[in-house]
Amino acid sequence: MRERQRRLKVVKKVIRNHMIESQEQLLHHLDEAGYHVTQATLSRDLKLLRVGKQAKDTGGYFYTLPTEEMRREREQSYVEDFARGYVSITYSAPLAVVRTLTGHAGSVAIAIDNLNIDAVLGTVAGDDTVFVALRADTTEESFLSALRERIPEFEE
């Protein structure tokens, strides 16, 4: 498992098990767990995990993770964005080139980025093309299989 993924699991565990009111508190817990990160890195992690804040009865706020229902709804909207703009896909290791309808590349790229496909390192979107950077060991079939798993309606 990659370092970032391990750290994200620890962040989620800390937020679930403690009433964390600030990034400083969270950084302290991460430090105790052996993860020495900057506040900027932690901010990116919190954004990626979609961490929110909930009001306390006594005043102030604490961090919360999205519910399973919220996660499913968000994932479904990404699936719909992908399906709405997708035209075709071509694979050339370590890249996949996704053709989209004109003007849809941005939303398709965001969908791919947020569907948490392990093989995807990141995307770059133009107007009707998305370049998907893949991990070096990713085969065409494993990438297409991961897309089918996340996007049941996906057809090449």
Asked if the structure places residue 27 within a domain, the reply is: yes
What phi and psi values does residue 137 have, to the nearest 5 degrees? -90, 10
Asked if the structure places residue 156 within a domain, the reply is: no
Q: Are 76 and 143 part of one and the same domain?
A: yes
Percent of the chain with pLDDT over 70: 99
Q: Are 102 and 135 part of one and the same domain?
A: yes
What CATH code is carried by the domain that includes residue 22? 1.10.10.10
End residue of a domain, out of 14, 45, 64: 64
Asked if the structure places residue 85 within a domain, the reply is: yes
Asked if the structure places residue 42 within a domain, the reply is: yes
**Structure token digits, residue 133:** 């950077």
Q: Are 115 and 144 part of one and the same domain?
A: yes
Q: Are 83 and 145 part of one and the same domain?
A: yes
Q: Are 9 and 31 part of one and the same domain?
A: yes
Asked if 100 contacts 87 with a C-beta cutoff of 8 angstroms, the reply is yes
Q: Are 20 and 42 part of one and the same domain?
A: yes
**For the chain, what is the domain count?**
2
- The pLDDT score that the predictor gives to residue 56 is 85
Band of residue 68 on the pLDDT scale cut at 50, 70, 90: confident
Q: Which domain holds residue 145?
A: 72-150
31-40, 56-65, 98-107: which is most confident: 98-107
Asked if the structure places residue 139 within a domain, the reply is: yes
* Between 83 and 4, the higher pLDDT residue: 83
Crossing angle between the packed helical segments 105-114 and 68-85, to the nearest 10 degrees: 140
* Between 56 and 97, the higher pLDDT residue: 97
Q: Are 78 and 141 part of one and the same domain?
A: yes
* Rg of the chain taking only CA atoms, in angstroms: 18
* pLDDT of 70 above 80: no
Band of residue 72 on the pLDDT scale cut at 50, 70, 90: confident
* pLDDT of 11 above 70: yes
- The pLDDT score that the predictor gives to residue 1 is 47
Band of residue 83 on the pLDDT scale cut at 50, 70, 90: very high
Q: Are 60 and 76 part of one and the same domain?
A: no
